Each structure stands twice: as C-alpha cells, then as structure tokens.
C-alpha cells in the first residue's frame, strides 16, 4: 500500500474542474467502494478523480510500467493521494497473488478494469505483452470479481474491435469478427471471456468501447500529444495515409462522465430487475452489456492538425506517409445507447477540448 504525498519539486495541479455526477441523479447512488485498475494511467486518473470528488472510496491498482514516462504516472497518483478516500497499490494485474490479496482486503462493491497494454503500433513489435496483460491480467480480474460477487464489473474495451467494418457510425450490435491488430484481438478476447463469466456465474458486466480519447494529463504516445509537442518544438509530425483519416475524438472528461453514469446501471440478471432500453446491447443469456462512448462525430485528421496549429500559434511540418499497418481510415461512434441509458451524451467540441489540453501542456512542461 502507498499513501501520503511524495516530495515534489513543485505543487501538482489539475487544470479545470471535472463535471461531477451528482449522487442524486439515480436512486440508490450511495457511497461505494470502487476498485480501479490503471489509476496512474490517463483515463484511470481522470475517472478516479471524478469518483472521489463525488464522495466514493477508491482503491487504485497500477503496475507503473515503463511503456511511457513513469514520472507522469507518479504525478497523477500523487494528485489522487491528496484526495480523501483514495489508496493505491503498485503491482501488475498479472500478479495473481497480490491482486487477490489487495482486492480481498478492500472488498469492493464495484470493479472498473482499465489497466491494459495500449497502443496499436507497439503491438506490432511487442505482441506478447498484450496477451499477458490484456488477456491473462483481465482473466485475473474476472476471477476476483466472480469470487467477491461484486455488484458490477466494468471493463474498458476499444473502438479498434470494429476493425475493418465499413458501416458507420459503429453500433454496439455490429459484428466485430475481423480485428486488425493484436491489441484489438486481445480486447475482443476479453469481451468474449467476460460474456462467458456473466452467463456462467451471473456476474454483471458492462464493457465500454472508447473512441480516440484526448485531454489533459494524457498519454505521450497519442497523436494529439505528439503533434502538440512537435509543433511547439518546430519538429516534423508523421501524418499517415497522407492525411486521409477521420476519427471520433472524445474528450476525457466526457468519457469518464459516461463511465460514472453507467456505474449504477448494472445489466439485469435472471430476475430481470434493472434498466433495459430500446436498442439495448444486453445479452439474451447473460447480464452483459456493451456501450460505445464517443463524441458521435468524425473529424478529418487535417482539420484536427489545423486546430492544434491555431491553438499553439505555429504551423506543423507535416511528413506524409502511407497508411500505418493495422490502422483503419475512420472511426465514428453511435452513442445513442449511452444516452438512452444515462441521459448523457458526450458533447465537448474539439476546439474547446484541445484548448484545455494545450493549456495543460504549456503549464506542465513550462513552454
């Protein structure tokens, strides 16, 4: 267990205040004990901060891997450790003994599993790490959730599972049988494995598919982060498929708002009690649901780059390249199910969201 505040060179801040989900928005929204894997990561940090601000207790579990700057991860955790109700363990989800012990001690009501080996390009050269973390690690989390009989297990999936699907916007009921990368294949495997757990043992599971998330305290390997850094330094950026790409860019605050609102809506079990809506993705044989979380819009990559140029006040030096192996030309989410279930739809416009990120980036790196 770790606690307290590390000795840091300067105070840690988190620009912008999250929109907090009010506890009264749905009956039964009481203080919960929430176990989140990946709290030192980009999305896990923002989600934990949201839930702590709403008054919940959160135990974070993160392996602090060196896939990208560990200092950034440590500073995210340092901010969370300043908030009442947060505690954390540094360990890998593949470490079965530690995961079991920590989860048993905390006895969570809800588990939100975000920890994963991310990155499409990295999966081309390091496929084993995706199988070990995303499949074996997720299996361990499923075992914990089953043993502790949690009220709700929530698992992060990805829009990458839609693969080469040409029909857009992507709907939760679309076929996802053609993943194009090892990363997408491991996420698809977890979706299937979690369904079997939901069916066999009545474990309530919701998977949420993310669409191109961006925002403050983000991952340095993501395009928006790399573009901002390179443009400010006057260095070239790599633009794949000669710029002919479209993405459904989702602000991280919108994303965690969606996850938080789904938390009390566990899929109905055999007794039929729970929320079911028109066009639901609920399994016919298990308490298992999949929900898209995106901005319900697709933005051309060159428009995205031009927005960053305008915000930083400099032009990008573009190196145009062919399509990256395993990439897709476009992503676009149908988020009507999220709205029907929660009354919420992500709506942060791209310029506003990127403006907040650029302000954070300039402050964090003092540029």
> Which residue's structure tokens are 């990127």?
354
How far apart CA 186 and CA 305 sit, in angstroms, is 30
For residue 301, what is the enclosing H or E element?
A: helix 301-312
Phi/psi for 210 (5° steps) reads -85, 150
Catalytic residues: 183
Q: Are strands 205-210 and 288-293 parallel, antiparallel or unpaired?
A: parallel
The answer to whether 291 and 338 have CB atoms below 8 angstroms apart is: yes
How far apart CA 190 and CA 46 sit, in angstroms, is 23
**Burial class (CB within 10 angstroms; exposed 0-12, middle 13-18, buried 19+) of 235:** exposed
The answer to whether 72 and 217 have CB atoms below 8 angstroms apart is: yes
CA 134, 136, 137, 141 torsion-angle sign? positive
From 105, 127, 104, 103, select the one nearest 117 (Cα to Cα): 127
How far apart CA 367 and CA 363 sit, in angstroms, is 7
From 78, 82, 32, select the one nearest 54 (Cα to Cα): 32
How far apart CA 134 and CA 118 sit, in angstroms, is 9
The answer to whether 160 and 181 have CB atoms below 8 angstroms apart is: yes
Q: Give 140-146's long-range contacts (Cβ < 8 A, gap of 24+).
A: 140/93, 140/94, 140/96, 140/99, 140/100, 141/37, 141/93, 141/99, 141/111, 141/113, 142/193, 142/194, 142/197, 142/203, 144/99, 144/100, 144/103, 144/111, 145/111, 145/197, 145/203, 146/197, 146/201, 146/203
């Amino acid at each position: 267990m770790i606690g307290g505040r590390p000795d840091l060179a300067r105070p840690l801040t988190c620009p912008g205040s999250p929109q907090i989900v009010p506890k009264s928005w749905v009956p039964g929204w009481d203080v919960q004990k929430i176990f989140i894997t990946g709290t030192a990561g980009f999305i896990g940090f923002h989600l934990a901060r949201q839930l702590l601000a709403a008054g919940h207790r959160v135990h974070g579990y993160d392996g602090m891997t060196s896939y990208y700057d560990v200092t950034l991860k440590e500073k995210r955790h340092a901010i969370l450790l300043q908030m009442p109700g947060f505690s954390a363990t540094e360990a890998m989800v593949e470490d079965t003994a530690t995961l079991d012990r920590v989860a048993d001690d905390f006895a969570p009501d809800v588990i939100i599993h975000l920890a994963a080996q991310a990155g499409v390009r990295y999966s081309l050269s390091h496929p084993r790490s995706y199988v070990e973390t995303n499949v074996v690690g997720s299996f361990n989390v499923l075992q914990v959730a089953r043993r502790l009989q949690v009220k709700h297990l929530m698992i992060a999936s990805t829009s990458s599972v839609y693969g080469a699907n040409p029909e857009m916007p992507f709907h939760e009921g679309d076929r996802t049988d053609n993943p194009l990368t090892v990363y997408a294949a491991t996420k698809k495997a977890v979706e299937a494995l979690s369904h079997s757990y939901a069916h066999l043992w009545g474990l309530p599971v919701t998977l949420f598919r993310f669409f191109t998330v961006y925002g403050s305290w983000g991952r340095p390997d993501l395009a928006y982060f790399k573009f901002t850094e390179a443009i400010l330094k006057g260095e070239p950026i790599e633009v794949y498929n000669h710029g002919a790409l479209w993405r459904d860019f989702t602000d991280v605050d919108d994303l965690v708002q969606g996850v938080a609102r789904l938390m009390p809506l566990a899929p109905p079990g055999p007794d039929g009690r729970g929320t079911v809506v028109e066009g639901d993705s609920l399994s016919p044989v298990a308490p298992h649901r999949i929900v898209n979380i995106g901005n319900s819009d697709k933005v051309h990559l060159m428009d995205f780059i031009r927005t960053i140029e305008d915000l930083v006040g400099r032009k990008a030096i573009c190196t145009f390249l062919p399509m990256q192996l395993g990439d897709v030309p476009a992503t676009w989410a149908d988020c009507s199910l999220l709205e029907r279930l929660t009354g919420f739809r992500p709506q942060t416009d791209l310029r506003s969201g990127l403006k907040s990120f650029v302000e954070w980036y300039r402050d964090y790196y003092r540029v």
